A and B are shown apart, each in its own frame.
Chain A
């Protein structure tokens, strides 16, 4: 049952949001235990990885103590959680740096990527989806639907490889990878963001196009739109003035789900384009068995996904006043 449904069932919106918050906190707690437990059973000893081949068993043991890995698991978990509650992610024993600032820095890159990818997806999906719906019996509408169907089947990394081959290696218009912070050089930042965002957004845009199309199709069959057309409004103005808002509810739901998909997709895209985001930090940390960092990154991702779902639920009530009033 979503918050929207609960609101519709009669509870006040504040109570629904409060309940939702409790669930959010409980989910985060469960996630933290699961993540920690998973890290504890992951094969591979962080001390051994840091010391490499030829390390004596005594040295490995000594390093394990230094890392605090010889303490009971419960103590390690409570230590980690205690730190998190005070906003302290701890210090990585691999990079020897505090994890918190690293996370924020990397999260920034990933959010830019996901945000830009989402923007590309929306820019593709909304116009194309509307065209596909309004002209669904005409060749152009069918053509858009078919193209979207095809786009869904292309994995983001394949799109990325093709785009790099064409626009970086052959034409030399855009960099094949790398990241320039926007504060340092806005132009270079934008150029570097285009290909990753398009790779990520193309596929999501194709998925979203199909949802926009079906949402608009549904709305078009509604009585109020027929009335609008009967008043003499042409198809597109009628849709824009009366239909889009109603079509937005299911589309926003999908957007929320897609945001989670985008976060996962970003891990791969960051690898292809060598972007220093959360995804590449996660892969590097796993390889180095930097358990503390891995735990924290995964937890941040989980919280991010839960938060998005939470916000989507809240957004329903904003988009659809009927859900608020009843």
Chain B
């Protein structure tokens, strides 16, 4: 009797423990997955797109996955920062530089089967002006109207000449949509690119498969080598590294833990590519608030920080010293990294001149690895010149955006600015830098409408003025470190566009 009872109670306990398992079994298998194999490539990323709609959701993750791969643009930017053809095979610019005639490919097709024509160009550009909500849409403000000249000939008329407009057409705001494909942008993107979103598993992966409409027989563009690309998301840098080491993925799109690079360099199964990004890691000075409204104090702090030592300590020496808000792939780049050599003595005398024997400043940073490790170096360097730093890591993006960015309540801050050509933010006195320089504002607006040659020299002047004013302290340019299995070829060292461009990837040994 007692044996039977204990068997019964064991059964009950087992059933209670097993109940959640049974429940889970009904639900966990709902997403389709794709088998691995030689034509499948798995790429690991750190930031996962929350949805697929970059028209209303900001952030780097969505364009990184979709731009150029699923959505194409009229013009693309290559890894040297040059503008090249995309969906437009060629384009002409009028003498007054306000009329752009785009000659479109006649064989591009959206993944829903619709052909790509000039009316899609009109539709897409007007969508940006009307329906987009992310701030980047302002890049399209300069467009006066779009005309459909022929089926494959679109004309864009600007209200004034703009050098930055064509460049911004290489970013997500230049993505081409079809009117039939925008019903559910958040979940079902429809583009002309070589890949189509097959499925997604939140918190895990996005699966892209070859778009059957891409590369028709008469299309000169090659079919992508990999039929399936799995974008896998790892919030944790170590988990991302382990995934490559244990064969779970083929490529790390960007290493975010520089300490781990040597182990890949020493391993002959992998190749490491190191290049530049558009990400300036900036120590922001609150130009609006005393004592940092005094240029002598800003200069003193800039002299007091040894950026070379900082880069070594904070990011393993990987990255590039820049000295202004310009990555080397911008056409107006000039090396200003030696403008403020490490000179604590000079820093102390500048501070004395400004009337500060000692200072106490808060440093409200994004709670991200590069910012945290940089902040510690900065605090120790500034201590040597009598500046006490209170480091306050803020939850990024939410709290940082609120406190530092929106309310401007900070003395110093560290965050990486990743958008292309974000030097223009210094022309906005309301931006959180609090930098109000009529000269820079005038130069920036003149540069945009100036002929190309003056454009470059004006932008150079802006960069130099920012450095002279110590408007901020450009700590270093974030490196792009890609690690891949040996057989994966066609990866780009420099991250210039907003996209992780899969289109050129091929497997070694395949034609």
Contacts and interface: CB of A to CB of B under 8 A. Distances in A.
Interface of A: 42-46, 48-56, 59-60, 62-63, 94-97, 102, 104-109, 111-112, 114-116, 118-119, 122, 161, 164-165, 168-169, 172, 175-185, 241-242, 244-245, 248, 252, 271-277, 280-281, 283-284, 287-290, 311, 315, 318-319
Contacts of B133: 51, 59, 62-63
B511 interface: no
Contacts of B18: 115
A100 to B, nearest CB: 11
B39 interface: no
A318 B402 contact: no
Contacts of A44: 395, 397-399, 401-402
A181 B28 contact: yes
B135 A59 contact: yes
Contacts of B411: none
Given A108-B24, A176-B248, A245-B9, A54 B136 contact: yes
Closest 9 CB pairs of A and B: A183-B29, A44-B398, A52-B58, A276-B203, A96-B186, A54-B135, A108-B28, A181-B29, A108-B27
B398 A287 contact: yes
Contact of A50 (B13, B57, B419): B57
B510 interface: no
A183 B398 contact: no
B251 to A, nearest CB: 15
Contacts of A241: 2-3, 6
B233 A43 contact: no
A55 B135 contact: yes
A315 B12 CA distance: 9
A115 B247 CA distance: 27
A97 B53 CA distance: 12
A281 B238 contact: no
B186 A311 contact: no
B380 interface: no
B51 A96 contact: yes
Given A52-B58, A181-B33, A169 B242 contact: yes
Contacts of A106: 202-203
Given A43-B402, A50-B56, 6 more contacts: A44-B395, A45-B402, A48-B406, A53-B135, A177-B248, A183-B25
Contact of B242 (A42, A43, A168, A244): A168
A214 B32 CA distance: 48
A49 B397 contact: yes
Interface in B248-283: 248
Contacts of A43: 395, 398-399, 402-403
Nearest to B185: A96
Nearest to A318: B12
B281 to A, nearest CB: 15
Nearest to B49: A95
Nearest to B36: A188
B20 A45 contact: no
B3 to A, nearest CB: 6
Contacts of A315: 12-13, 16
A115 B17 contact: yes
A184 B402 contact: no
Given A50-B57, A94-B57, A175-B246, A182 B134 contact: no
B187 A178 contact: no
B50 interface: yes
Interface string B181-213: 000001100000000000001111100000000
A176 B138 CA distance: 43
Contact of B425 (A46, A54, A169): A54
B488 interface: no
Given A55-B58, A177-B234, A277-B203, A242 B2 contact: yes
A109 B24 contact: yes
B33 A184 contact: yes
Contacts of A94: 50-51, 57
A144 to B, nearest CB: 23
B201 A102 contact: no
B187 A97 contact: yes
Contacts of A119: 17
A178 B33 CA distance: 12
Interface string B375-406: 00000000000000000000101110111011
A11 to B, nearest CB: 22
Nearest to A43: B399
Nearest to A283: B235
B236 A176 contact: no
B48 interface: yes
B94 interface: no
B31 to A, nearest CB: 6
B28 A183 contact: yes
13 contacts: A43-B399, A44-B399, A44-B402, A53-B58, A54-B135, A104-B27, A105-B31, A115-B24, A176-B242, A181-B30, A183-B25, A272-B236, A284-B50
B278 to A, nearest CB: 13
A112 B199 CA distance: 22
Given A52-B135, A169-B242, A176-B242, A274 B21 contact: no
Given A62-B133, A183-B28, A245 B56 contact: no
A5 B131 CA distance: 63
Instruction: Name the residue among A95, A122, A274, A284 with the largest chain B CB count within 10 angstroms.
Output: A274
Given A43-B399, A44-B401, A315-B12, A111 B23 contact: yes
B236 A271 contact: yes
A275 B419 CA distance: 30
Interface string B29-64: 111110000000000000010110100111100000
Nearest to B201: A276
Contacts of A118: 17
Given A44-B399, A94-B51, A274 B135 contact: no
Instruction: Name the residue among A50, A54, A315 with the largest chain B CB count within 10 angstroms.
Output: A54
B398 A51 contact: no
A275 to B, nearest CB: 8
B246 A176 contact: yes
A45 B51 contact: no
A115 to B, nearest CB: 4
Contacts of A281: 202-203
Contact of A52 (B33, B134, B187, B202): B134
Contacts of B30: 105, 181, 183
A112 B51 CA distance: 26
